[in-house]
Amino acid sequence: MTNQLKVLVTGGAGYIGSHAVLALKDAGHSPVVIDNLVTGFRWAIPDDVPFIEGNIADEALVAATLRDHGIDAIMHFAGSIIVPESVENPLKYYRNNTAASRSLIDSAVQAGVKHFIFSSTAATYGIPESSPVREDMPKLPINPYGMSKLMTEYMLRDVAAAHDFNYCALRYFNVAGADPLVRTGQSTAGATHLIKVAVEAALGKRDSVAVFGTDYATLDGTGVRDYIHVSDLAAAHVIALEALVADPKTSHTLNCGYGHGYSVMQVLDAVDRVTNQTIDRKIEGRRAGDPDELISDNREIKARFGWQPKYDDLDTIVSHALQWERKLGERALV
């Protein structure tokens, strides 16, 4: 067991960040959160976790936070994540994701913080030549979101070569579900993730679910994606953190997914099963840039870290998402 670590979690009031905070606490570490609350929620952070409201590009604020809390490592989740928005407003993404990350990495180096875990994405691959996708396949992002994240990966690589610093970049596939103990979940209004949208529809928060394209080269014609439970993803971050500390000379860039996928229709069928009702499905045209399937090759993360997912079951992911959506509905009534 690694000694207790003090970890700055950027974007710790958001969906994945808030699960990482819980995973750190559950593993005996001490998280400190910085978040500008643009898309995060103050109530998503436990009362005993120090919270700083602010922007990671505010170097004076970050320097003070790193110093005052004796931070050992950074988990970096803060950023913008909507792919179509990145196409419409690329400069926002290069500011919020790339430039702000550069500032944060600089702050870490200046403060002597030696370990950095980065929330990256399968969007760095663009449209892969084959599936499952291996880490060594070409990185050819087709949108500013994917490019903004890839540029940050390159910055981390170069900084690790120049300084006493190591990192782990985790390339997420489709993150879904919520904390099994219903402590946090995906809470942002207008979310675009399929399982979130589908459970909202099941609870009457939406009239229907759009299915974008039914002519893909897949079993039922709808796009196939690798859905990973957010708590398994958060656990991977804690394991990565402990690996960086145990071997400070080694950095990692790894896929985070289950290595198999489900089609849009299979996901909607699962929501129907779990809720014992039928969601209205609206068939629409394909979205530009959506590959037929996007599945991770996850052998590397399992081999390097011994990561073993606990929630690799579609109905479990859906039921946890549904539990959280119901709790959100109760919160809105208070």
Catalytic annotation, residues: 145
Instruction: Single out the residue of 122, 124, 121, 108 nearest to residue 159, CA to CA.
Output: 108
Angle at 229 between CA 224 and CA 235, to 5 degrees: 135
Pairing between β-strand 224-225 and β-strand 262-263 as defined by DSSP bridges: antiparallel
Measure the CA–CA gap between 44 and 327, rounded to whole angstroms.
13
Rg (CA), the chain: 19
How buried is 63 (Cβ within 10 angstroms: 0-12 exposed, 13-18 middle, 19+ buried)? Answer: middle
What are the backbone dihedrals phi and psi of residue 166, each rounded to the nearest 5 degrees, phi first?
Answer: -135, 165
Instruction: Single out the residue of 172, 170, 123 nearest to residue 290, CA to CA.
Output: 123
Angle at 237 between CA 5 and CA 228, to 5 degrees: 155
Query: Long-range contacts made by residues 326-329, C-beta under 8 angstroms, separation at least 24?
Result: 326/203, 327/182, 327/185, 328/185, 328/187, 329/203, 329/205
Residue 169 CA neighbour count, 13 Å, CB half: 18
Q: Could you say which DSSP state residue 194 is in?
A: H
